[in-house]
Amino acid sequence: MGQYPFLQTGPTLGSSFRLLISGPRQLTKAELSSVFDHVKKIAPMSNFQLVINDIQDKQDCLMGYEFTCQDGLDLATSLIHHFRQVGSEIGIDINLIPKSWLNYWPNLLVFDVDSTLIKQETIDELASFSNQREKVAEITRRAMEGDLDFTAAMLERLKLIKGLSKEEMMKVTDLLEIREDMASLIRFCHQNNIDVAFVSGGFNMVVSHLAQVLGVKHFHANELLFEDGVFTGNIKEPIVTGREKAKYMVELCKQLSIDLHDVVVIGDGANDQYMMKQARFGVGFKPKPTLERFSTIVLKYSTVEVLQKLLSWE
């Protein structure tokens, strides 16, 4: 059962499940049969009921099925593995969710920033100013996939952009693109009194700017150190590693009197696993392979707006 830790730490699984199928197109009949045939082999008494069919959205086609079975964690583990494998083969997101986890409104949504809220990795963009982009981007990729120690990778990359002026570095905000579906989800949160926080292993000078643009009060990121307006190559300690991100999230929940079981985390990198372990559930948005096993919901082909519909399912 160690393959998906969230099955051990999340709410108790009941006998009813919802199957969320989403992506840029509808599934064909043959593809649907492939999805369901495996379930019927290991749970032959399962009866599938279509409970949502939303194909109006041009970005995301969404279908949802409900089925029941008497088994619990072992079956769920097998099905999640099957659905994710099939989904990757046909370019569709297929997520298995216990019904008891639905019809639920979180009190806090926590967003990672680089490659989640925004399309780019900020440090890679900064490296363009010092002609070190290719080298820095490779280190970033390996760190986000969990192949390198995050702290060591951060310090190595910072040395490569040492000497840039603060004024020059601030220009990076003009290059960063906020994902529209993320901005839409944040507006949805504001409209429904759900708190939002940005927690990033990136840089405060950028994250604070994004928070101001999107009307978000709570954010946490690394503080770059400057001397006479020039970047020293160092950051203020403690460095915001994955564990530090989780620590901030826990402290914020205490400050806001929010239970951790009322928190949803959205991220993409290996260092987001620590927040997901603490929260009710995690949404892996185009996640690195290491993060997938910690993600209750994986969105590789859909926009994050499907989460709005998921949260309002009854």
**Cα–Cα separations (whole angstroms), residue 238 to 50, 113, 161, 242, 255:** 49, 19, 20, 12, 20
User: Is 112 among the catalytic positions?
Assistant: yes
| C-alpha–C-alpha distance, residues 69 and 52, integer Å | 20
The catalytic residue among 54, 60, 93, 112 is 112
**Cα–Cα separations (whole angstroms), residue 291 to 110, 111, 269:** 16, 15, 6
**Cα–Cα separations (whole angstroms), residue 109 to 69, 88, 193, 285:** 31, 26, 11, 14
Token output for 91:
């370019």
Beta bridge partners of 220: 199
The catalytic residue among 114, 124, 195, 268 is 114
The per-residue b/e assignment along 85-111, b for 16 or more CB within 10 angstroms, e otherwise, is eebeebebbbbbbbbbbbebebbbbbb
Active site amino acids: 112, 114
